[in-house]
Structure 1
C-alpha cells in the first residue's frame, strides 16, 4: 500500500482524467505531481500552452475537473478506503509498473490490484475464448491452463464466463499463478457467480483492474481491458471462438504488441471453431498439447510425455474401460452402457466412483465427459 506522500501521484492518475500522454507532458512541465496539485490558474494556463506546443490538447473541461478535484481530505479518505479493503495500486510513474504495459498505446495510468502484486520476470500466457463454450472447451481450457501453470507460467484471463473461468480454475487447481483482469471496479466480481473463483485467484495470483472501486461493468470497458490482458502476456492462447468473437479483439491487440498467437483447432462444422481455425489459417500456432506452448515460453523445454493424457493408477479395471470410452464430447449414460455392454445400475455406480475421483464430469444430467488429468 502507498504511503501518504504518494497522495498527489494517486490524485494525478485517478482524478485528473488525463491520459498517459497528457500526464507525461504535465509532469515534464511541473516536475512532480505535488506542484501540479497546488498550481495556480496562471500555471495551469501555462501548462496548457506548453502541451499545445507539443501537439497535446488539455481542454477547458479537463482543466475545470482538475481544479475541482483538488481536495486533500477526500483523497486521504479514498486512500484509507483502499487500505481497509486491502486494495493496492500502482501508477505508470512507479518503477514497479510493468514494462510490458508501459510501452503500449494508451497504457493504463493506474492499476488497482487485490491479492499479490503483479509478477515480474515471469513468463505469462493469456487464455481467452468463448463465454458460451462447449464441455470440450471447458475441459481443454482447464487442462491446458493447469498443465502450463504447473511449469511456472502465469495464466492471465478476464474472469468471464466460459473459457476464461475454466482457465483460471485450471491454474488454481494445479497450484499455479493466475491473474484476472476485470472490466469493472476492482472490488466487483463480475459475473457474480464467479465469487469463489474471484477469492481463490487472490491466494495464488491476483485481481487487476484499471477501474477503481464501485465502477460498474459497462460494455465498453471490456474491449479496453483486453489491451491489458494481451500486453501482460508473452503469448495468447485462444480456445473456442466464433468468427466474430470478442476474443479476437484481444488477438488483434496482441498482434499489434508482437505477441505469439496460439489456437486450439476444432471441427470445421462447429461455429465455436471458426475463429480458432481461421487464426490457424492466418499463421497461429496449432496447440494440441501443453508442450506446443511451453516449448516457446521455457528455454530448453523438453516434454516428458507425448502430449497424451494418462489415466490415474487409482482407477480399477472397470473404471479404466469406461474412461477409455469417454471423450470431451458428452455421452449419455445409455450410450455408454451400450458401448461397454454394462448394465445401467452397475454403470451408475462406476460413474459415481469416477466422479468422486475427479476423473469424469457430468455437464448435463446423465451425460458424461472425461476430465483431463
Structure 2
C-alpha cells in the first residue's frame, strides 16, 4: 500500500462523524492499522464497537479524504498519524492521543518538550507584559513555547517567543486551514512560517466552544510543564493545568494582586500545589535547565527616584479614588500625571477607572 493510500485509510477512519477518538483507538488496538480495520469487515468490527460499525462502513467521506490529501500535498502542510515516526513522542505518553494531527509549519518542533503558557483571554496589561517577558526569556534559553493562539495570554506568549527568534507551537481548536480568532491572523501566519500550528480537528472545522477544552490536553501533553500567567477561578487555563498534573507534567503559576479577578485562578493552583514562580529561572531550575537563562523577568524594584505617584500606585490594580486617598492630591492633579505615565508605557488604564503599572 502506498503512503497516499495509507494516509487515505487514516483519514477515512477519523473523518466519520460518530467514530470518536476513543472508538478509533479501540479499533486500532484490535486490528492494527486502519487498512486492517476495513479489511476485517463489518461483522468483525461490530464485535468491537457494536452498531457503530455501520457508520464506519456505510459512510462515504471520499470528498473530505481527497481534500485532506490535497491539503497535505501543499508545501509546509502535513498530516501526521499515530503510525508515523514523526508523530510527537510526548503525545504517546498521554491517555488519549489524537490519531491524526494536521500540521502547518515545521513538524520537527512537535518533538520539542517545551513550556506551555496559558492564561486569560481577558488579560490585564500587566499580564500581557508578564507573559511576553517570560516567553522571551524562556525561548531565548532554548525552550519551545507552546500555547493555544487565543487572545490575551496565549497570543502574548507566542509573540514573546517570536520576538527573540525562538520556537513556538500553537495548538488550535479549529481546522488547521482556519484562523481563529481573526484578530490573530498575522500572528498565526508568523507562527506557520517560523514555528508550527497543529490541530487534531478535520479541515474546515469552525470555532466550536467544546473543542477548545478538548485541545488543551495536547497543549499540556506536548510540554514538560505548564505555566499559568493569569486565570479566573473557573478559567479553561485551570483545565489545562489539571490535565498537565494528570499527565505527570509540572504546573507553575504566577501570583498576582489579591484584588485582581484574573489572579485568583493562579492563587487557587498554588494552594493546590502548583509551584509559585517569580522568574524564568524558577521554572528552568525546576526542570533542570537553570544555566540556559542569563537574564530574566523579575519582580520590579522601586528606583531611587521613583515618582511618588508610582509608589502610591503599587503593583496591583488601583482605583483613581484610592490614589486620591493615598497621595492626598485631587483627581484633577493626578490625571495628567497618569496620562504622562501611560504614554510612556509605564502605566496602563484598566476598566472601571483603575490603573496599573506595567513594570
Distance across 2 between alignment mates of 1:74 and 1:129: 34
Distance across 2 between alignment mates of 1:274 and 1:152: 30
Residue 115 (structure 2) aligned to one of 112, 116, 125:
125
Distance across 1 between alignment mates of 2:153 and 2:224: 19
Cα drift, residue 369 of structure 1: 7.2
Q: Which residue of 2 aligns with 1:60?
A: 51
Distance across 2 between alignment mates of 1:303 and 1:116: 25
1:28-47 equivalences in 2 (<5 Å): 29-37=30-38, 39=39, 43-47=41-45
Cα drift, residue 25 of structure 1: 4.7
Distance across 1 between alignment mates of 2:61 and 2:122: 45
- 8 A contact 2:109–2:169 mirrored in 1: no
Cα drift, residue 371 of structure 1: 6.0
Q: Extract unaligned runs of 5+ from structure 2.
A: none
Distance across 1 between alignment mates of 2:238 and 2:246: 12
TM-score (structure 1 length as normaliser):
0.77
Cα drift, residue 364 of structure 1: 7.4
Cα drift, residue 238 of structure 1: 0.6
Q: Deviations over 1:80-124 (max 9, x none)?
A: 144347531111222221222123222211111111115255331
Q: Deviations over 1:205-226 (max 9, x none)?
A: 1111111221111111011011
Q: Rate the CA distance shift 1:308–1:47 in 2: closer, same or farther, 3 A.
A: closer
Cα drift, residue 10 of structure 1: 2.9
1:100-179 equivalences in 2 (<5 Å): 100-119=90-109, 122-179=112-169
Counterpart secondary structure, 1:301:
helix
**2:281 is the counterpart of 1:291:** yes
Residue 248 (structure 1) aligned to one of 238, 250, 259:
238
Counterpart secondary structure, 1:240:
coil
Distance across 2 between alignment mates of 1:244 and 1:192: 25
Q: Which residue of 1 aligns with 2:10?
A: 9
Cα drift, residue 169 of structure 1: 1.0
Q: Rate the CA distance shift 1:200–1:371 in 2: closer, same or farther, 3 A.
A: farther
Cα drift, residue 288 of structure 1: 0.8
Residue 219 (structure 1) aligned to one of 188, 192, 209:
209
Cα drift, residue 328 of structure 1: 6.8
Q: Which residue of 2 aligns with 1:317?
A: none
Q: Rate the CA distance shift 1:173–1:212 in 2: closer, same or farther, 3 A.
A: same
Counterpart secondary structure, 1:180:
strand
Q: Rate the CA distance shift 1:115–1:17 in 2: closer, same or farther, 3 A.
A: farther
Counterpart secondary structure, 1:89:
strand
Distance across 2 between alignment mates of 1:65 and 1:134: 47
Q: Rate the CA distance shift 1:267–1:351 in 2: closer, same or farther, 3 A.
A: closer
Please provide the CA RMSD for this pair. 3.7
Q: Rate the CA distance shift 1:205–1:328 in 2: closer, same or farther, 3 A.
A: farther
Counterpart secondary structure, 1:146:
helix
Distance across 1 between alignment mates of 2:210 and 2:82: 22
Q: Which residue of 2 aligns with 1:55?
A: none
Q: Rate the CA distance shift 1:103–1:328 in 2: closer, same or farther, 3 A.
A: same
Counterpart secondary structure, 1:291:
helix
Distance across 2 between alignment mates of 1:163 and 1:307: 16
Counterpart secondary structure, 2:145:
strand
- 8 A contact 1:16–1:65 mirrored in 2: no
1:157-236 equivalences in 2 (<5 Å): 157-236=147-226
Distance across 1 between alignment mates of 2:238 and 2:22: 27
Counterpart secondary structure, 2:118:
strand
- 8 A contact 2:79–2:102 mirrored in 1: yes
Distance across 2 between alignment mates of 1:369 and 1:89: 45
Q: Deviations over 1:168-188 (max 9, x none)?
A: 111111211111111111111
